[in-house]
């Protein structure tokens, strides 16, 4: 029996645009042999060319790739070394160690996704499972061998999925967007017969920011280069479903120095974006303060604006004021506060994106996500019951509560 086109079904009921659906649902191959195959691959034959989620510092992975040593075992050794210096990487290593215990007991339940390029098996999804398998003593792992029609298509598909994931950091999303933008730029330059040894995207990242960069992001470039930048932006925004502002905000995160990125690994886009307007030598101090005090995006913007003025005394004064306000907030914080914001107000587009991702996943990966969804459903039902009892206790019926902005 012929299977219905999942992209067509999803497009009919989705809140996402058609371009987003196409990116999430690549053309289904005519037969399983032409699309993906389940194989067993020795861990020693796996290779890496990226890290969708941060496992080691970017420069460490870049060095491994340049040296021809980007294998899971080498990445695991680099992670152990980084874990000795930074608590973020200690947490990553602990999570992989916990996963290794499960793999040792039950095996790899969700196959890796790999592609074969120039005789190498390159991991597209499952980097942490590969490392955990090594810790668990496994010599091979199950994997789905995929066909990728092009690098741009593959990166675009992964980016769309990553932008919907809540467990990826802003820096990780920014890195994926930069990679996609560079691949698209190569396409545009080839189409227009322009030299490939220059890059308007890299120039945008290297350029010293100005006060009007939102209005003139590619100022100083030639007319041809500005046209290339505009075409790259148009194609990437269409592929990933991004607004122009979000596109630039994520790209600008790649301006952060390695030290600033290390200090701000868990910060949000709103907390990091203002710091990208500062010189690299000042970024680490500001990002470290934002992370240490967990400043809001508004507070981070205020601090960055003062730091950009060059008045160091003013910077110290505002740091002291923000530190005092944060201390007061911590003193009055209560453990139940997160319950009042447990369900996001934009749950409808989020659920639509979740449906899209589920439809694009293999059966095994879909089952893992569905287990998590079922657990959240159970907790949400219990939360609703508890809230109903609290409201009933005080005789509140919600008649004056604002209506949710449902689609």
CA distance 394 to 142: 56
Q: Are 326 and 342 in contact (CB under 8 A)?
A: no
Listed residues 148, 171, 195: the one ending a domain: 148
Listed residues 119, 148, 177: the one ending a domain: 148
Domain containing 379 equals 347-393
CA distance 60 to 56: 7
* CA distances in angstroms from 47 to 64, 119, 152, listed in the order given: 11, 10, 19
Q: Are 151 and 181 in contact (CB under 8 A)?
A: no
Helix axes 58-66, 72-83, angle to 10 degrees: 140
Per-residue pLDDT of the chain (407 residues; tens, 9 = 90+): 344 454 444 443 344 444 554 544 444 333 333 456 889 999 999 999 888 778 888 889 889 999 999 999 999 999 999 988 888 888 889 989 999 999 998 899 889 988 888 888 999 888 999 999 999 999 999 998 877 656 666 666 666 666 655 567 888 888 888 988 988 898 899 888 888 888 889 888 887 665 555 555 666 678 888 899 999 999 988 887 788 998 999 999 999 998 898 888 888 999 999 999 899 889 999 999 998 888 889 999 999 999 988 888 888 888 888 777 654 454 444 566 677 778 887 787 778 778 877 877 778 778 888 888 888 888 888 888 888 888 888 888 887 766 555 45
Q: Which residue has the tokens 């545009």?
A: 188
The answer as to whether 81 is a domain residue is yes
Cα 365–chain centre separation: 18
The answer as to whether 186 is a domain residue is no
Listed residues 148, 173, 208: the one ending a domain: 148
The answer as to whether 321 is a domain residue is no
The dihedral sign for the CA sequence 350, 356, 359, 362: negative
Please report, for the domain that includes residue 35, its CATH number. 3.90.1530.30
- For residue 43, the tally of other CB atoms under 10 A from its CB is 17
Q: Are 145 and 117 in contact (CB under 8 A)?
A: no
What are the b/e assignments for 56-78, b being 16+ CB within 10 Å? bbbebbeebeeeeebbbebbbeb
Q: Are 300 and 270 in contact (CB under 8 A)?
A: yes
């Amino acid at each position: 029996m012929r299977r219905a086109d999942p992209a067509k079904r999803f497009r009919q009921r989705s809140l996402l645009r058609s371009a987003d659906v196409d990116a999430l649902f690549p053309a289904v191959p005519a037969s399983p042999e032409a699309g993906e195959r389940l194989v067993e691959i020795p861990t020693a034959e796996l290779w890496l060319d990226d890290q969708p989620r941060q496992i080691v510092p970017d420069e460490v992975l870049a060095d491994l790739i340049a040296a021809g040593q980007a294998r899971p075992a080498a990445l695991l050794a680099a992670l152990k070394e980084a874990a000795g210096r930074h608590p973020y990487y200690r947490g990553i290593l602990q999570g992989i160690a916990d996963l290794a215990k499960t793999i040792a007991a039950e095996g790899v339940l969700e196959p890796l996704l790999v592609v074969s390029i120039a005789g190498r098996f390159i991991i597209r999804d499952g980097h942490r499972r590969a490392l955990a398998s090594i810790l668990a003593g496994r010599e091979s792992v199950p994997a789905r061998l995929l066909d990728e029609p092009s690098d741009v298509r593959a990166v675009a598909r992964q980016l769309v999925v990553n932008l919907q994931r809540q467990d990826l950091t802003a820096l990780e999303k920014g890195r994926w967007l930069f990679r996609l933008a560079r691949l698209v730029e190569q396409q545009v330059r080839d189409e227009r017969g322009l030299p490939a040894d220059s890059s308007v995207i890299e120039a945008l990242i290297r350029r010293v920011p100005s006060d009007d960069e939102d209005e003139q992001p590619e100022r100083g470039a030639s007319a041809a280069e500005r046209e290339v930048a505009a075409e790259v932006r148009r194609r990437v925004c269409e592929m990933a479903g991004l607004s122009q502002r979000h596109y630039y905000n994520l790209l600008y995160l790649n301006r952060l120095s390695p030290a600033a990125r290390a200090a701000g690994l868990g910060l949000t886009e709103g907390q990091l974006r203002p710091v990208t307007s500062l010189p690299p030598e000042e970024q680490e101090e500001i990002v470290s303060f934002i992370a240490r005090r967990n400043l809001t995006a508004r507070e981070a913007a205020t601090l960055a604006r003062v730091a950009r003025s060059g008045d160091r005394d003013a910077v110290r004064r505002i740091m002291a004021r923000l530190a005092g306000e944060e201390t007061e907030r911590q003193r009055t914080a209560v453990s139940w506060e997160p319950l009042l914001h447990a369900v996001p107000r934009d749950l409808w587009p989020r659920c639509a994106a979740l449906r899209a991702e589920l439809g694009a996943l293999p059966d095994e990966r879909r089952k893992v996500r569905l287990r998590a969804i079922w657990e959240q459903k159970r907790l949400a039902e219990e939360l609703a019951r508890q809230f109903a009892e609290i409201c009933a206790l005080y005789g509140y019926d919600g008649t004056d509560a604002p209506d949710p902005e449902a689609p």
